[in-house]
C-alpha cells in the first residue's frame, strides 16, 4: 500500500460551482486547516487518485491547485505546519452542539 505522507493542498478556483466541487472532493481526502487549505495523509495511490479527481473538476487555464509534500509521517511532517492564533483543532473543540 505504500508509506503515507503528509501533504498540504491549497487551491484558487475561479467559479463558485467548481469551488464547491473541489471543496467537497477535498473533504474526502483530508482535513480542512484553513479556507481553501487542507492537510492530507496519503499514500502514493491516494495522491494519484486525488490529482485525478481534482483534474476532472478544474479548468486548467483558470484554476490553480498547489500540493506541498511535507514528507513521511514517521518524520516531522505534522510539526512542519505552524499556526499563529487559533489552531484548527481548537476551533473544533469549541463547537457547541445544541
- In the chain the domains, ranked by start, together with CATH numbers, are 5-93 (3.30.70.240)
| Residue 20: per-residue pLDDT | 97
| Residue 98: per-residue pLDDT | 46
pLDDT tens column, 40-71: 999 999 999 999 999 999 999 999 999 999 98
End-to-end Cα, the chain, rounded Å: 41
pLDDT tens column, 3-53: 899 999 999 999 999 999 999 999 999 999 988 999 999 999 999 999 999
**More confident of the two residues 92 and 81:** 81
Q: Using alpha carbons only, what angle is made at residue 36 by residues 31 and 40, rounded to the nearest 5 degrees?
A: 30
pLDDT more than 90, % of the chain: 65
Amino acid at each position: 500500500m505504500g508509506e503515507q505522507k503528509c501533504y498540504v493542498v491549497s487551491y484558487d478556483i475561479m467559479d463558485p460551482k467548481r469551488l464547491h466541487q473541489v471543496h467537497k472532493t477535498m473533504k474526502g481526502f483530508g482535513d480542512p486547516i484553513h479556507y481553501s487549505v487542507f492537510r492530507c495523509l496519503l499514500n502514493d495511490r491516494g495522491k494519484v487518485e486525488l490529482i485525478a479527481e481534482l483534474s476532472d473538476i478544474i479548468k486548467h487555464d483558470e484554476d490553480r491547485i498547489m500540493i506541498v509534500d511535507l514528507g513521511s509521517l514517521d518524520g516531522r511532517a505534522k510539526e512542519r505546519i505552524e499556526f499563529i492564533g487559533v489552531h484548527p483543532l481548537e476551533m473544533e473543540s469549541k463547537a457547541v452542539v445544541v
